[in-house]
A and B are shown apart, each in its own frame.
Chain A
Amino acid sequence: MRPEEIIRGEDCLTPADLEALLEGRLPEAQAHVDICPVCEYELASLREFLAGEAGAAEQQDLAWMEARLQPAAPPVTRRKWLSWFPAAPLPRFAYTCAAALLVVAGSLQLRHMAGPSLVDSHSTTVRSSQIRILAPAGDLDTAPVEFSWEAIPQAAAYEVVVTEVDGTLLWSNRTSSSKLFTPASIQQQMLPRKSLLWRVRALDAQGVVIAESSPERIRVLSAATR
């Protein structure tokens, strides 16, 4: 029996019930909360989430995050950054990468969208700085447990993006080291014989892209072991 099954009953409240209780629409649910530690805990958690009140120690980090989670720029501005694609025909893989970045940037007010980093990396930043990918590359016996590359001296962080070949984002994450472990859940999504692309970008302390790798194609030959 899992711990949760021991202490959560069939009479426990749903999130919608907890919300109704908080808003005074279901006062009779309070009697259950008074006897049930699980619902007491769930109610307190929901209340804290909805209140969104940062403590003094959290204010600074929260402001830093909010500055990077700004709502997306107006559509006009956003369309502009498409212009970093040259008009000349590109190799097919370049479109794939473009699609991948579109998905990353477009998936939701991600900082790439509003922030100048993505635009800068392609339109103004000199692209002589290339990150050399170490592993994985090509066909693999099993899903890769980590991604690794050669460190760049000025880099404060690296961002890894893994996409399907049509540009659909599979996974993206950041690290300050020159490798990144693959979560088990992502390994499982790397289906056998399905080609994927991954690339890494280096960012400086201001979050500006200072170097990036070429996209690397990988393909897992057999299913993840777990």
Chain B
Amino acid sequence: MQQLSDEELISRSRSGGAASPSDPYVEELFRRHQRKVALWCLRYSADREEALDLSQEVLAQTFRRLDSFQGNSKFSTWLYTICRNHCLNHVKSRATQPDTTGEEALSFLAAPDNGPMEDQLARRDQLALARSWIRNSLEETERRVFLMHFMDEMPLDAITRALGLSNASGAKAFIVSARRKLGEAARRWRLQSEA
């Protein structure tokens, strides 16, 4: 059984109708991957007890959805998308209040300074601009923290833990510097395009 790929395990588990959690193929499949899930959940939890609960939720959800696995990607990638979304929902539901400072910081990416010229920017130009500002202005960790906070809407304390940041103010320091740098990039771009 250990020579079988994940996808072969799934198809064998289906051969006798709906898969059961005690199916040996299913057991082997989850045995292979539970460590990845556990580690990911640990990074998205305040402590190991919470992480254990989260892992079990992810595994249970994966099992419930196993029938819908289409094989568009490998099982491990599919498991990742389930795990990632579940952990994100978890840290968001745990957040005491929505952090809205992110929206403000991003607004200049959507319509920089609300100027008439920027209003006319085509969507794809806005996208290209946003990408280049983030890519060119921010350091690697700043980019990561920025996207976790603004795109995935993760609270800062959760980001600090997920990335294992050890500096004094954690993710907050990176967000502060990212906002400043993006603001500068937006200003530079405006000056250039007006010249």
Q: Name A residues whose Cβ lies closer than 8 Å to a Cβ of B.
A: 1, 3-4, 6-9, 14-16, 18-19, 35-38, 40-41, 44-46, 49-50, 52-55, 57-58, 61-62, 64-66, 68-69, 71-72, 75, 78, 106-111, 113, 157, 173-174, 176, 183-185
Contact = CB atoms under 8 A, between A and B. Distances in A.
5 contacts: A40-B143, A69-B52, A71-B30, A183-B93, A185-B89
Counting chain B residues whose Cβ lies within 8 A of the other chain, the interface size class is 35 or more
B22 A72 contact: yes
Contacts, number: 161
Interface in B100-134: 102-103, 106, 109-110, 124, 126-127, 130-132, 134
A126 B84 CA distance: 41
A124 B124 CA distance: 67
Contacts of A36: 131, 135
B89 to A, nearest CB: 8
B93 to A, nearest CB: 5
B69 interface: no
Contacts of A185: 89, 93
Given A46-B77, A157-B49, A6 B30 contact: no
A107 B48 contact: no
Interface residues of chain A: helix, strand, loop or mixed (majority): helix
Contact of A109 (B21, B41, B73, B147): B21
A123 B2 CA distance: 35
A64 B39 CA distance: 11
A3 to B, nearest CB: 4
Given A9-B127, A37-B143, A69 B42 contact: no
Contact of B151 (A7, A57, A111, A183): A7
B8 interface: no
A66 B35 contact: yes
A75 B23 CA distance: 9
Interface stretch (B10-18, B55-63, B168-176, B187-195): B55-63
Contacts of B93: 183-185
A83 B12 CA distance: 30
A18 B77 contact: yes
B21 A6 contact: no
